[in-house]
Amino acid sequence: MENRKEGEIEDMPMPLSPPTMGSMQIAGSNGFGHNIEFMSQAYLRNRYSEIDIEDYTVYADKDHPLPIFLKFEDVEYKVRSSQAASINPVRVVVSKFASQLNLEQDKYKEILKGVTGSTGPGEILALMGPSGSGKTTLLKIIGGRLTDNVKGNITYNDIPYNPALKRRIGFVPQDDILLPQLTVEETLVFSAFLRLPSDMSLQQKYAKVEMIMKELGLERCRHTRIGGGLVKGISGGERKRTSIGYEILVDPSLLLLDEPTSGLDSTSANKLIHILQGVAKAGRTVITTIHQPSSRMFHMFDKLLLISEGYPIYSGKARECMEYFSSLRFIPEIAMNPAEFLLDLATGQVNDITLPEDLVASQGTADSDRAVIKYLQLKYKTHLEPKEKEENHRSTKAPQQLQLAIQVKKDWTITWWEQFMIIMKRTFRERRRDYFDKLRLLQSLGVAVLLGLLWWKSSAATEAQLRDQVGLLFYICIFWTSSSIFGAVYVFPFEKVYLVKERKADMYRLSVYYVCSTLCDMVAHVLYPTSFMLIVYFMAGFKRTVICFFLTLFTILLIAIISQGAGELFGAAVLSIKRAGMMASLVLMLFLLTGGYYVQHIPKFMRWMKYLSFMYYGFRLLVKVQYSGDQLYECQSKGGCRTLQNSPSFDTVNLDGGLQEVWILLAMALGYRLCAYFCLRKRISGCHI
């Protein structure tokens, strides 16, 4: 592995020197393949150089990113085939036991089959290969995104992966994961405020955002929403550049990018690779997967790892790969892009390519492609892999200073309260269009007017009228319970990918995110019920006293807030849009049936269910607020006046029994949220993107 000293890096021109013309000549000319045996031996002798790690120890201070020397050896990864997967818990247990006895090896699909390589500060390592070859999988394993079913040895400054590396690794996924309702500028500014060091002033953070936007050509779209899905926004290329700016903004020690040039035109892609070169030259390690770069881009890479069917067929300096394959007598017959030539080899498609004599006989057969791939894999195993492993073991061991530094977890750049203020502003800006949605407001006011007209000036003078009014109270409970539950149950499933991405980068504390999400959503859960009750309360003829109105409003708001917490719990428990909706529907039905209106005398063996229902306590509280036990009704009947406590509607409710339900509902509001937080914490920790 080759690394340059600090002074050499600064003096190095932006584009790397292109290889000699001989490495790109049209096959058939003697220049490309002349003296093959000599080239092969010289190539294998000279392609390696020792790592001068000592020169990078000067960077190990607070003013520079910590240099990371990455080595990976014999990395293997496998996944269970879909046919073998099962949701049956018995089969899962049996399967795990069988796999320990190596009885189910055939039910696993190998994605990576022993990949070895290394890279260090100042270098760009390109992972190339056809689709499905395992490039993205290897990138996720290096970034700590995949840990299960991984074999092999991966070290960062000779230390295995540990949680302290989270904030030192930047990861740009192939699918851009950005909040759609924020603008480009807001996205980068919030990231800067959360992740840049606290000793930087706000002006310095803004200046860095401005610099990144200028370098990535995002100034024209800075005030445009990101968009995505059904939300109109910036173009795909602009979204990709924003994703990259989001990560390079904080100068990570190790930057991983998955297909960063997809969706970009040639000029923008070249400019992006130039930016990555600048990132690497500042002492950072850059690894990127790339499908088929242009010739210009290809020669900007320092190192290349070419993968075919999960196994390497080349590893080394990018500018020497053509020499290596020419030494194996794989020579293009026409002038072609080196990346195109390499992908043809990796897929076994060797049209317009001269082959070694060992493979000529196999051409034209059904397995000719496989024969080429197997041949290249064998040559790698015999020629390059031993040298790569020898280099990994022979290279200078990282100084103890770097080994210790890589294990020290970085402190949070800002305090819990500062994170809270930033995430609160971001969450509100992201969701404010939902909070102040015209259709939602129209629904709330429309239902309130409709109910007011149906129960216009209702009273409790007779048993029938009392039953009607009690029915309205219960319907109000139903309406705001269902509205609040389904308004909250999809929040975490929808934002799962964003949350996982930002938590993997250790951007903020999960408690900050949860508190901000809950408090921001409460805006809607307070605003709409309040406007609803201002209309329906007076139209329906409820008790017209100030204290009764505010106690009724308080009860409805409490029910809405508890329903929000229940919805968050169901969403956090499954983190699936479909399953969360099904769970919310089932629980809502159970709460309605045990709420105390449809069935008052529940059998003893089912009675425990009503004590879990917040609708049961909320409905009882509404009734106690609105009516008193000594209030008279049925005064026009033959039997004379009776007290409301003797009404069949209140058989199970002591109207003068105090308001102990308030404390139970407050405990439920807190309990649901605590359960939702711990469920979210457990589920997010096991999610990958």
- As to burial, measured by CB atoms within 10 angstroms (0-12 exposed, 13-18 middle, 19+ buried), residue 62 is exposed
Structural domains of the chain, with CATH:
70-80+104-168+254-267+277-410 (3.40.50.300), 177-251 (no CATH), 416-686 (no CATH)
Q: 536-559 in b/e burial notation, b at 16+ Cβ within 10 A?
A: bbebbbbbeeeeebebbbebbbbb
Q: What is the pLDDT of residues 103-142, one digit of tens each?
A: 445 577 888 988 999 998 999 999 999 888 889 999 999 9
The closest of 526, 126, 430, 479 to 292, measured between CA atoms, is 126
Using the structure block, give the residue that is written with the tokens 């991405």.
501
User: What is the number of helices (H) and of strands (E) in the chain?
Assistant: 25, 14
Q: For residues 13 and 459, what is the distance between their CA atoms, to the nearest angstrom?
A: 87
Which residues make beta-bridge pairs with 115? 75
Separation CA 337–CA 450 (nearest Å): 70
Among 491, 187, 516, which residue's Cα sits nearest to residue 195?
A: 187
Centre a 10 Å sphere on the Cβ of residue 631 and count the other Cβ atoms it contains. Answer: 16
pLDDT at 652 exceeding the cut of 60: yes
Q: What is the dihedral of CA 266, 272, 278, 279, to 10 degrees?
A: -150
Asked whether the predicted pLDDT for residue 299 surpasses 50, the reply is: yes
- State the pTM of this model: 0.79
Return left, alpha or beta for 298; rule: phi > 0 is left, psi -120 to 50 is alpha, else beta: alpha
DSSP run (H or E) holding 314: strand 311-317
Would you state the structure tokens that stand for residue 178, as one six-digit string?
């950005």
Whether the CB-CB separation of 641 and 630 falls below 8 Å is answered with: no
What is the arithmetic mean of pLDDT over 303-316?
A: 91
Residue 574 has pLDDT above 80, yes or no: yes
Token code pair at residue 476: 């109000």
CA dihedral over 129, 131, 132, 134, signed as positive or negative:
positive
Among 33-37, 77-81, 247-251, where is mean pLDDT lowest?
Answer: 33-37
CA triplet 450, 452, 455: central angle to 5 degrees?
110
**506-548 pLDDT, tens per residue?**
889 999 999 999 999 999 999 999 999 999 999 988 888 899 9
- Report the chain's terminal Cα–Cα distance, integer Å: 30
Residue 389 CB coordination number (10 Å): 15
Alpha-helical (H) ranges within 457-490 are 463-488
- Report whether 644 contacts 466 (CB < 8 A): yes
- In contact, 471 and 623? CB cutoff 8 Å: no
> Which residues have C-beta within 8 Å of that of residue 632, sequence separation ≥ 6?
641, 642, 643, 644
pLDDT score, position 429: 92
Residue 262, C-beta contacts closer than 8 angstroms, at least 6 positions apart: 174, 240, 291
- Classify the C-alpha dihedral 161-162-167-173 as positive or negative: positive
Residue-averaged pLDDT of the chain: 81
334 burial type by CB count under 10 A (0-12 exposed, 13-18 middle, 19+ buried): exposed
The CA distance from 280 to 549, in Å, is 65
d(CA 294, CA 270): 8
| CA 329 – CA 372 distance, rounded (Å) | 12
CB 162 within 8 A of CB 68: no
Of all helices (H) and strands (E), which one includes residue 80? strand 70-80
Residue 635: which residues within 8 A CB-CB, separation 6 or more? 461, 641
Q: Which residue has the higher pLDDT, 334 or 93?
A: 334
CA pair distance 473, 149, nearest whole angstrom: 56
| Both structure tokens of 311 | 């196994």
State the DSSP code for 29. B
Segment 159-207, tens digit of pLDDT: 888 888 888 888 988 888 899 999 999 999 999 999 888 888 889 999 9
pLDDT tens string 458-503 = 877 777 788 888 889 999 999 999 999 998 999 999 999 999 988 8
